[in-house]
Structure 1
């Protein structure tokens, strides 16, 4: 029998290798790993889904918002931390805001244009802190924030200073700066040439925790700090007609400790806590 040419034997060997590896790695290996996962880690392998009354209500790994149709917090529920993933906690759009501590100047909208501008990270933090403070009945004041909830930042020029995040006709958070009159920001004006000066003010340690005003890196974090949960406890107890001690006991029951006993901080799973409240 005549032997096949060398080049043809090489091609046939390659095809056999592709077929064998496809069966091993494309069929057998996935089936084995899936079977092991289903047998040993069924709950985790299927997304750590949480059920209530026979219905899937969420995942213990993915946060969710507890707001009404207008996006306002539902007062009887603990609120999650902010999320930058899509419209909030969207697993298909997991992301962070990618804004750093130097992002302190708002981009003002251009009059007559479709451009809606953009809030700086500082103004987002200030606005969230003000809103949380109003919701929880505490001071929402923070360093580098104005009383009306924007970043306390000046653009300083030789002859004037501008509270660049306070659009006219707002009253600037300070009347003067180093002898210069402080003006509100006028739409359409370019303040890029001014020197950027964040003003700390006299705010004390914030009553609103940091995780209440900043989004997590993934945008999917299901946890809040114990401090943020404790801040919300009086409101939730009042709205549900429960004793405050009962709500605090539920917080403690749904608080996880540090990973391996020393990494990270204790945290509260918001969805599981709210479900426990619904169960009574």
Structure 2
């Protein structure tokens, strides 16, 4: 009996679905999984999980923060670089802010900035860098001053109003990143008193003028201490940033600085292929090495990393 053509077409389609389901849905994943478990590949395929005392505490490929329950840095641990996602692997992303991001969005003083919805404020990249540099400087006992930053840790930026729009005599100057009743970082600009910024006022007709200030060109606080990586998950910091933290960590643990410096050198990785990028220090592995050396628990302080279920919440 001859099978109708439309039935033959459906049977052929069904056979194709079954074949590709077996090949691509079963066989291929099993082969790839089997290859990934070969010696030399198993650790990376399984997430490069780092364990301490038989328990997972993180991944050597994903950064995490080392802070207490209130979000303050734990003195005996090296601190990671900032993260735009809070080191959440499910929310990895860059801030997408660039060099022209210098003016903050002021928050509504009638709203609670700590509420779920916040007060509507938004920091520009410049203010983020200034605030982080100030905080790191205070933590490490060095100057966190940077060019174009105020002493209170915001971007030193004015909106300047001229008689001719873009030029002419200055008629008004506003420190747009310092909300009232803050004292402006600059009392006078070209003969005009500088005002603090008020929520709701429109300063868009003024010219944005960054003010460099007298901070040195090179800060003792390195760039990776004040900026997040592109993925926001970078587990490494620069050797310069690690060395900056060595004195504080050594004092908190009662160790010679030379011993801490030696551990930094031991956990410094070289450039990729010998010439790509810069040497880096894996923060989690360095902190675990410190714990082992001090005969303390190798389990790190509270972290923001949530990559291994509840084990990532210390």
Q: TM-score range by the shorter chain?
A: over 0.9
- How does 1:78-157 map onto structure 2 within 5 Å? 78-85=78-85, 88-113=86-111, 115-157=119-161
Does residue 176 (structure 1) correspond to residue 188 (structure 2)? The answer is yes
Deviation readout 1:130-175 (Å, 9 max, x if unpaired)? 0000000000000110011000000011311001111122221112
1:57 counterpart residue number: 57
Deviation readout 1:228-276 (Å, 9 max, x if unpaired)? 0000000001111111110000001111000000000000000000000
Q: Kindly indicate whether structure 1 or structure 2 has the higher relative contact order, using CA contacts under 8 Å at least 6 residues apart.
A: 2
- How does 1:198-277 map onto structure 2 within 5 Å? 198-204=210-216, 205-277=218-290
Query: Helix, strand or coil for the counterpart of 1:268?
Result: strand
Equivalences, count: 277
Deviation readout 1:15-73 (Å, 9 max, x if unpaired)? 10110011001000100110111123111111100011111111000111000011000
Compute the TM-score of the two structures, normalised by the length of structure 1. Answer: 0.96
Task: Indicate conservation of the 8 Å contact 1:109/1:188, yes or no.
Answer: no
- Structure 1, unaligned stretches of length 5 or more? none
**How far, CA to CA, are the matches of 1:84 and 1:58 in structure 2?**
19
Change (3 A) 1:231 1:274: same
Runs of 4+ in 1 over 4 A off after TM superposition: none
2:11 counterpart residue number: 12
Q: Tell me how far 1:97 sits from its aligned partner.
A: 1.0
Q: Tell me how far 1:84 sits from its aligned partner.
A: 1.1
1:162 counterpart residue number: 174
Stretch of structure 1 that moved more, 69-78 or 39-48: 39-48
Does residue 188 (structure 1) correspond to residue 200 (structure 2)? The answer is yes
2:31 counterpart residue number: 32
Query: Helix, strand or coil for the counterpart of 2:50?
Result: strand
Query: Helix, strand or coil for the counterpart of 1:39?
Result: coil
Stretch of structure 1 that moved more, 191-200 or 229-238: 191-200
**How far, CA to CA, are the matches of 2:119 and 2:291 in structure 1?**
43
